[in-house]
Structure 1
Amino acid sequence: MKALICVAIVAGIFQGASMALMPQHGITKHQGYKDRWHQSQSSTNAYNEPTVDWNLFNLKQQYKKSGGILYKQSLLSPEEYNAIVMELSNLDLNVQDELKSSFANNRMGCTIGRETGIRKILSDENGSLLKFVSSLEDNCDGRLRVAPEIPVELRIYEKTGAGMEWHIDDILYNPPQIEVVLTIENSSDCYTIWKPLNGPIQSVQTTPNSGLILKSGGVEHKVSPLKVGRRTILKLAFVREGAAIIDDMVGHASHHSGKSKTKKRKR
Structure 2
Amino acid sequence: MEVNLQACRPPTPAKPQSRAVQSQIGRERLGGITSLLGTGAFCWGLWRLGAVAQSRHGSRRPRSVRTVTWNMQCGCAYIPDLLPEESFRDVVNEYQSLRNRLADEGPCVARGRRVIAISEGSGSGSTAWRLFQSYWLRLRIQREARLRFLPLLPKVSDCPLEYREYREGSSMLWHKDTVLTEPPQLELVYTLENTSDSVTRWATSHLDVLNRRVQEVWTAPNSALLVQAGGPVHMVRELKTGHRVVLKAVLLPKPIGSGPLYAAPTARWFENLTRCNKIQDGVEA
TM-score past 0.5 threshold: yes
- Report if aligned partners of 1:99, 1:257 keep a CA contact under 8 Å in 2: no
Q: How far 1:205 moved relative to its partner?
A: 1.2
Aligned residue for 2:190, secondary structure, equals strand
Identify unmatched segments of 5+ residues in structure 1: 1-54, 262-267
**C-alpha distance in 1, partners of 2:189/2:203?**
17
- Report if aligned partners of 2:68, 2:77 keep a CA contact under 8 Å in 1: no
Q: How far 1:244 moved relative to its partner?
A: 2.3
- Describe the superposition over 1:66-87 as per-residue Cα deviations: whole angstroms up to 9, x where unpaired: 5210112101122221211122
Residue 72 in structure 1 maps to residue 79 in structure 2:
yes
- 2:170 alignment counterpart: 162
- 2:127 alignment counterpart: 117
Q: How far 1:256 moved relative to its partner?
A: 6.5
Q: How far 1:249 moved relative to its partner?
A: 3.9
Which of 182, 186, 190 is the aligned partner of 1:182? 190
Which of 86, 95, 105 is the aligned partner of 2:111? 105
Aligned residue for 2:163, secondary structure, equals strand
- 2:37 alignment counterpart: none
- 1:41 alignment counterpart: none
Identify unmatched segments of 5+ residues in structure 2: 1-47, 49-65, 256-261
- 2:279 alignment counterpart: 258
Alignment of structure 1 residues 40-59 onto 2, 5 Å: none
Residue 172 in structure 1 maps to residue 180 in structure 2:
yes
Residue 151 in structure 1 maps to residue 160 in structure 2:
yes
- Report if aligned partners of 1:185, 1:231 keep a CA contact under 8 Å in 2: yes
Q: 1:134 to 1:248 in 2, by over 3 A?
A: same
Instruction: Give the residue type in structure 1 aligned to 2:281.
Output: S
**C-alpha distance in 2, partners of 1:250/1:196?**
27
Q: How far 1:248 moved relative to its partner?
A: 4.5
Aligned residue for 1:180, secondary structure, equals strand
**C-alpha distance in 2, partners of 1:60/1:210?**
10
Q: 1:79 to 1:168 in 2, by over 3 A?
A: same
**C-alpha distance in 2, partners of 1:92/1:60?**
30
Aligned residue for 2:90, secondary structure, equals helix
- 2:199 alignment counterpart: 191
Q: 1:95 to 1:194 in 2, by over 3 A?
A: same
Residue 216 in structure 1 maps to residue 229 in structure 2:
yes
**TM-score, normalising length from structure 1?**
0.67
Instruction: Give the residue type in structure 1 aligned to 2:107.
Output: K
**C-alpha distance in 1, partners of 2:230/2:174?**
13
